Structure 1
């Protein structure tokens, strides 16, 4: 999408939200929610990283309110598959696919509480917030949510997303402590090849490198990955990648004798099991930063210059180094810079 189109869409979202604010004019509730709490519906964001950072809230809701029925609405098939086996969710819904079935299920229900996890105006999320019937509706505070929701999570925009999601607990009169908010990956099928590989790593401490990224600006170059692994000939590495980088992964494994060839993973749970066996992970700003948080694995994160990415999606509850590019492009972080930081984390 061009910058012109992106700005046009942003103006439309803001205009749509502003119109609803003038129509609805909901007064903001200042005291914690004390109404019925038998059911809650949560609007989950579309990307894997956002999905991972929602899991602490799901876990805490079940722990703090064991009888609550948690309904999660997903807006992509990928996040639907991610949450399918989450034991904290009672019912999972997807806006994609059979639209008639989705609306038939949702419009025949009335929930006690709805929570929109977006911290900026989204037309689809605001529409669902209005269409879905709930006694009270909550969102995250931003200029375009005031007047639309009964309750707003009042945290700084740059607060880490896992903490921002768990801010719903404060609306329910419960404390939010960082240590309570470690994310997790719901269990998914694991292939025999992955199980065998994980077992083989038990006596081989290695460094993980994730070569995939969520967008064109976030990729680090193959040349840089080669420089990094060759700078530590005494260390063993393993490469993690999405299917789109399969060939690059194979080349790195062929050209670097200290890279352990690894089987392809079929889901994030398999990836999480492998990451949990590493001593450290080097990755661009992607969901893999948060996969490492699930297992408490130290991270070197490679970030672009955008401040909101560095703050809202920073490594969470793990030892970490954040390397910031002088530009919007992660590839402008030098290999030498990463080598220095890796030496520091390895204790050299």
Structure 2
């Protein structure tokens, strides 16, 4: 049923774009304190996180009003006064969509931005029926809908954040390119929860390494034996070790920890993110948490699946980083010896540098 729905949406989008007259191309207006901007960024948490550098820099440079149209899966990422003044949560209900269209038209945005890298049929139909003199998007199949087209940088050559930040090169704003980074600030209650966990389980101010074993997909679970071997290596150093996981992977985490190491799990993304800010090093498979590590400048060693794609991996943008990449569909055949060979020298460099600061 889902496949039929997707095909039907694609058909409707094809019809829309075939009969649609191309929008009049025009220069973008100057963005200043009085400007009202709408940014559309649906889908996943990671998609939202890599958008935050752009929003932060525009808000900082212009002091304008920014509204975000987000999905139920990612809206909370934008809940920060340095990113947005208002967050609108997209609802697929027909009645709600009608109200959303009216709301957008009544707000009279100076510019509407489609931040999606790929063509979204939902966003395309929304752009087609909403009013704004200026609609901006990347050079892709639905470009007819845009009055200003931003070049689409190659996903095989550029980091995803650099591709998103390309929008900023067309806005005539004084933006600090050296300070681009993911912006995310956990709530104080979440920070207190993380601090309580650390104080409960760890005595003394030691270098702390978090080992995250969850990545949303079983294909990116590295295996209990491999994680146990990793911990055995870390036992040679004077460090605290905490196993981190999603609630669904708690069984795996318990097997890995063998009642010797604390396990941190919490259904709240905000609390989990706060815990990233309490560690000195993160070992993790590819997941949105790497972007939180970037926000905190926490060094990361990652395990990445790069299956049938030439895209640049979504690495932490501002963290010291090393990884092992497999071109297979899972991490199943990534052997421990291969990981250890790259992990140990990278970890030791970080460990000895930071241990001096901690002591």
- TM-score (ref. length: structure 1): 0.85
Distance 1:304 1:11 in 2: 31
Are the equivalent residues in 1 in contact too, given 2:68–2:88 (CA < 8 A)? yes
Structure 1 pair 128/160, CA: closer, same or farther in 2 (3 Å)? Answer: farther
Are the equivalent residues in 1 in contact too, given 2:220–2:305 (CA < 8 A)? yes
1:169 aligns with 2:168: yes
Are the equivalent residues in 1 in contact too, given 2:304–2:324 (CA < 8 A)? yes
Tell me which moved more, 189-198 or 222-231. 189-198
CA drift at 1:344: 1.6
Show the counterpart of 2:354. Answer: none
The 5 A counterparts of 1:1-348 are 5=3, 9=6, 13=10, 16-17=13-14, 19-20=16-17, 22-29=19-26, 33-34=29-30, 38-66=35-63, 68-75=64-71, 77-96=72-91, 99=96, 101-142=99-140, 144-158=141-155, 159-174=158-173, 178-188=177-187, 189-190=189-190, 192-199=192-199, 200=202, 203-235=205-237, 236-255=240-259, 257=260, 259=261, 261-306=262-307, 311=312, 313-347=314-348
Tell me which moved more, 278-287 or 162-171. 162-171
Structure 1 pair 129/214, CA: closer, same or farther in 2 (3 Å)? Answer: farther
CA drift at 1:300: 1.5
Distance 1:134 1:293 in 2: 35
Are the equivalent residues in 2 in contact too, given 1:194–1:265 (CA < 8 A)? no
Secondary structure at the aligned position of 2:234 is classed as coil
Distance 1:231 1:316 in 2: 27
Show CA shifts across 1:125-152 (max 9, x none).
Answer: 212222332220111222x033221222
Distance 2:85 2:55 in 1: 10
CA drift at 1:298: 1.4
Are the equivalent residues in 1 in contact too, given 2:194–2:278 (CA < 8 A)? no
CA drift at 1:115: 0.8
Are the equivalent residues in 1 in contact too, given 2:307–2:326 (CA < 8 A)? no
Structure 1 pair 317/191, CA: closer, same or farther in 2 (3 Å)? Answer: closer
Distance 1:173 1:18 in 2: 35
CA drift at 1:70: 0.5
Structure 1 pair 21/137, CA: closer, same or farther in 2 (3 Å)? Answer: farther
CA drift at 1:101: 5.0
Show CA shifts across 1:271-316 (max 9, x none).
Answer: 2332223232111111011111111111122111237585152231
Show CA shifts across 1:326-348 (max 9, x none).
Answer: 31212322222221221121237
Are the equivalent residues in 1 in contact too, given 2:78–2:87 (CA < 8 A)? yes
What is the RMSD of the two structures over their aligned residues, measured on CA atoms? 3.0
Tell me which moved more, 286-295 or 230-239. 230-239
Are the equivalent residues in 2 in contact too, given 1:185–1:268 (CA < 8 A)? no
* Long gaps (5+) in structure 2: 350-359
Are the equivalent residues in 1 in contact too, given 2:113–2:137 (CA < 8 A)? yes
Distance 2:323 2:264 in 1: 28
Structure 1 pair 116/169, CA: closer, same or farther in 2 (3 Å)? Answer: same
CA drift at 1:193: 3.9
Q: How many residue pairs end up in the alignment?
A: 338
